[in-house]
Structure 1
Amino acid sequence: MFDILIVGGGAAGFYAAIHAAEANPKLKIAILERGKEVLTKVKVSGGGRCNVTHAEFDPNELVKSYPRGEKELKGPFHTYCSGDTISFFENRGIALKIEEDGRMFPESNTSKTIIDCFVTEAERLGVKLLRNSSVIAIEPIAILEEQPFDGWMVESIQKKYYAKKILVATGSNPKVWKLMEKLGHTIITPVPSLFTFNIKDPRIEGIPGVSTYATVEVLEKILPNKVTINLKSKEAAKALLFSDGPLLITHWGMSGPAILKLSAWGARELHDWNYKFVIRVNWLPEYHEEGMLLLLMQIKDVEAKKTVLRTNAVDVPRRLWVNLVKASGIDETIKWGDITKIQLQNLAKELTAGEYFVDGKSTFKEEFVTAGGIDLKEINFKTYESKIAKNLFFAGEVINVDAITGGFNFQNAWTSAYIAAQAIAKV
């Protein structure tokens, strides 16, 4: 018999267990983990360095990085935010550093530091860790001792456990979502959230590793076996989704923050389109197409005797410049003085408004984030307790909250786990 059973030995589960044990040392707490290893997502986060949080300390700004949960997280972030996360780790001897893009990592540059901290703290506080305990049933039950009270039975593949309160922190786990449905909860169908774009296009072939700042827009849906008509009106070219940031060219297409932000904000639409759509890329966001044409015409006059291919007249990586010049119909021997107006127009378009067909997606590294989970309407965000079942709490990605890349998903885990732990620890 436990006071608290935490289902899921990941970031949110451990964080909740530690805070609940600190808030009330008398509590008997256990974590049920389905595998041999705990904190597996923490291990691979940030390329093995663990992107703990993001250096955004204003809750009103922080919520803007959450495609799902922006409104609901405003209150929780006013209770527990990035600064509180930093204090948690610093109080345990783990210093964090801020990188240029705002991401925060342990100074040790290894996720092992975070994992060791959680495991050590849980052991110190007497939290019992039950590995290889995949949960197959969760049921409310009246447990009779001196007086009746509402409790829970949690059955793993090994045995049955009983607890007064349970916290579900299993992340994107379809089997657990099914168990929550049986309890009356609504599950928003999960779809991938952070992913890269598969693009086969000669303009980006042979130059993997090239990275530059760009803006990216999702233009339209491509319907299989149907003709897509591109009207010349501005309305037809209007972007459905917009993002900016570093864009990385890969062997399979495009990645980097600019793409990953689009994948998060457009998770449901892009899923509905079967990941077939058109994007428009501006490799020089400070220019629009007309402005770029004027600049290229000036360069034509100044650099008349130089070949276009070798000049790299604008601030884009050289290998990308070469590909875009070729795509504009400009031969490698053509000099600026001999370039035609149509070729200049083509080059201006390629630099500022090139369109690329996306045909599929790839998982972003080992990090898998989904949009979907427990319906947010069914959760009390002051305590993270279920509105459907008493003494049932949630934390982390098991609910329909997800964020763009950069440490925001972990901050959701820390905040929800902390608030749930404070509520659970109250006798």
Structure 2
Amino acid sequence: MEVPQQQLLDPRALLRAMFDAAVAAAQPSCHIGQYLPSKPAGRTIVIGAGKASASMARALELAWQGELTGLVVTRYGYAVPCEQITIVEAGHPVPDAAGQRAAQDIVQLVSGLNSDDLVICLMSGGASSLLALPLEPLSLEDKQRINRSLLESGATISEMNCVRRHLSAIKGGRLAALCHPARVVTLLISDVPGDSASDIGSGPTVADTSTCADALHIIRRYEVDVPEAALRLLESGAGETVKPGDPSITAATHHIIAAPQLALEAAAQVASAAGIRCHILGDQIEGEARDVGKVMAGIALQVAHRDQPFTAPCVLLSGGETTVSVKGNGRGGRNVEFLLSLGIALSGTPNVYAIACDTDGVDGQDDVAGAVLAPDTLARAWALNVSPRTSLDDNDGHGFFGALGDAVVCGPTLTNVNDFRAILVLQGIAHSNQEISHEARP
């Protein structure tokens, strides 16, 4: 008797292979050569920031024929060796003095350029924190306070970056203006829903259509803790960013070289090779992580019990960036919060597995990418006297999955195309008239 292929699968191995494929597809070395600008008559200066900026710099050095110099700033532990470009490490997700010094050095580096010069800017997720240059009279301590409050507020990444742009001396197109009249070409690895260039690293070299009034609205809506000096900057309009059509950025262009959709498609190919149909539900899903977990559980249960909207076996893929409004004493982490909420809603449904990881290798502030969920996850937690609901209420997804040994630790991936979520439904479950419980044991 022939054994069905899905019974031969190792669900955890398949999910991890899909995540690894997503990360591999977003490596700068795979794409940067396609977007090299023409050589200038003058100098070539390389600047940049982000979790992938060091690997982007290395890929650029290998692909570029000619001299260049520059500086990029990346997260601690994410540096890679370069020969011509200086790599600096700094704090993320909360900015630190090293990031401020790097930003000041970059400003000095692009000062006094002329129209014969070329600036190549390498930007990826994380640059908002790593490239920290507060708009006067704000201090670094003010920026740290604002950033912490934004991270815990539940605001979307687009909303957080709107506030950051208007309180920075370097973001919201200001860095491109400082490079004027040199030509500026920005190469971007997107980690934001919708791939909006002004949101990637808060858009230091990209014109901004949002306003100080928009930033004020976000601060008031989410009750973000900001100093009085920040409010005065926004209320007076002194924090306004560089707008489209401004003469100082007419020589600035940008290209997105890697994005979440590309990573999801690479993962889908791995599932397809294993004989499993894959359905991409979206690459820009936002919202509270626990709410998204409930919604995804509802879709997975519909597949498992009713073969709608897809027939099992299949994989449900999604990307984007959810948020966590931290109310408890846990460390947050949007991927583990999503996964814990998903698990509670699935309530041990057989044949349903999932993985949720940040493609940069860091979920929240922990050096853990995410975790894996299996049908026996809740049962194993109860056996260890670990309560799923209490862990979720305390925003302690990292503690929960760490106790089970189900955390995914991969180290720095040197890229960042946001969250990766895959739900594997291996087999449909015959529908009964009994009510399907979505509740986990207390």
Name the structure, 1 or 2, with higher relative contact order (CA <8 Å, separation 6+): 1
> TM class by shorter-chain length?
under 0.3
Structure richer in strand, relative to its length: 1
Counting helix residues as a fraction of each chain, which structure ranks higher?
Answer: 2
Tell me the TM-score normalized by structure 1: 0.25
Q: TM-score, normalised by structure 2?
A: 0.25
State which structure, 1 or 2, has the greater radius of gyration over its C-alpha atoms.
Answer: 1
